[in-house]
Amino acid sequence: MNSERAAGATPAMAQWFRAKADYPDALIFFRMGDFYEMFFEDAEAASAALDIALTARGTHQGKPIAMCGVPVSQRDTYLTRLIRRGFRVAVAEQVEAPEAAKARGGKALIDRAVVRLITPGTITEEALLDSGRASLLLALVLRAGRVGAAWLDVSTASFETADLAEAELAALLGRLDPAEILSATDVELGPHESRRTDPGPPPPAELARRDLARLFDVASLDAFGAFTDHEAQAAAAALRYVERSQAGTLPRIARPVRTGETGLLAMDAATRASLDLLRTADGGEAGSLFGAVRRTVTAAGARMLAGWIAAPLDAIGPLQARQAGWQSLLDAPGTLASLRGSLRGAPDLARALARLGLAGRKSGRLSPRDLGQVRDSLAAARAVAEGLAPAVAADPMHPL
């Protein structure tokens, strides 16, 4: 904490200064009763972004303290607007009840602590996510013309890595369209520059490998594949960032899968933009290829379709296999209707499991709503399996 800047602060404002020192690049949502208050430069930035009143709360070092606030009951609404504008928000909650503070005697201050750093690439809260789009955090490490890339979706626990030439990075960025990119400034991000966060140097390669092996409870990272040093560094950097965003608790993350661009059609950013694959020039889905062909009835299906469109196959074998699966459903409209009926309204299993994993690690308390979503998802999966059983029994090599 900048001791000179915090000198003379009231006890409550001293708490704010400590939070700001720990998260200098984030807006501090500082819980005070039924409101989240923002102060100083945070208040000025938030009031402009949210179009809310900027006021003052007392003085500090002889100057008025700029302040704005939002009701706790509308937290997610305002967080969504800030995150979509590219802000990072550290949520400082009251971590004890007012009664507990009073029990300490005198004018004891309610204890507050940052419990969550919300950034565009680390969102787990259902209300802040786009159900039909992946929310990817991408970490990049550049070494001697090669890029180690690691990307994960905290909301579904998926985790992939790749090693590629620096010249291939633009195509990867276009395909993934990450919500947030962790990289040093020596990595050229082109139109994705506004999504960059520089978390500092990645861990050394050997330390990164040890960290990953420990986190996934294996003797060596080689158990998952032959990762290059800079892939391991990128993967470790991504997980460290996620752990920090959750105030020291790492969510459940799937083991890293080493992937590549083989079998996928490479496209540069200009080509993608001109084709309006996932969104049009104004950022909307309507009028894009995705918007035109989307007939999915689940959020997971929409995310899979978006992934297929963003990374089209270029090998004839996989293309024909995918087409055969579609054709088999078109040839059996009754089965297709039954499957859509079973899937319609099915909860988002992957995101429910991710939230349960995080809640269990943080507090041991699991959400009944998320548990219910797992139950309903399994029921839908059973109905789908039963609907497909006759076709598979008649032809074990059926394309479905």
**Could you identify the residue written with the tokens 């945070």?**
42
Q: What is the pLDDT of residue 105?
A: 66
Sign of the Cα torsion 327, 332, 337, 338 reads negative
Task: Report the sign of the C-alpha dihedral through residues 116, 121, 126, 127, in that order.
Answer: positive
Which amino acid does the sequence have at 245? S
Place of tokens 């020596």: 186
- The C-alpha atoms of residue 314 and residue 95 are separated, in whole angstroms, by 53
Question: Which tokens in the block code for residue 118?
Answer: 């919300």
Question: Which sequence spans correspond to the domains of the chain?
Answer: 3-118, 137-258, 277-394
- Per-residue pLDDT at 399: 66
- CATH architecture for segment(s) 3-118: 3-Layer(aba) Sandwich (3.40)
**CATH annotation of 277-394:** 1.10.1420.10
| pLDDT given for residue 139 in this prediction | 98
pLDDT number for residue 359: 75
> Smallest Cα–Cα separation from 348: which of 322, 325, 369, 364?
369
Instruction: Compute CA 211 distance to the chain's CA centroid, rounded to the nearest angstrom.
Output: 21
Q: How many CA atoms lie within 13 A of 311 on its CB side?
A: 16
181 in helix, strand or coil? Answer: strand
Fold designation for 137-258:
Nucleotidyltransferase; domain 5 (3.30.420)
Give the model's pLDDT for residue 224: 86
* pLDDT tens sequence for the chain (400 residues): 567 787 888 989 999 999 999 999 999 999 999 999 999 999 999 999 999 999 998 899 989 999 999 999 999 999 999 999 989 999 999 988 777 777 776 567 889 999 999 999 999 888 899 888 899 999 999 999 999 999 999 999 999 999 999 999 998 998 999 999 999 999 999 989 999 999 999 999 999 999 999 989 899 888 888 899 999 999 999 999 999 998 888 888 999 998 865 678 888 778 888 899 998 888 788 999 999 999 999 999 999 999 999 989 988 999 999 999 889 889 989 989 999 999 998 999 999 998 888 876 665 567 899 999 999 999 999 999 998 888 777 777 666 6
Residues 6 or more apart whose Cβ sits within 8 Å of residue 61: 7, 8
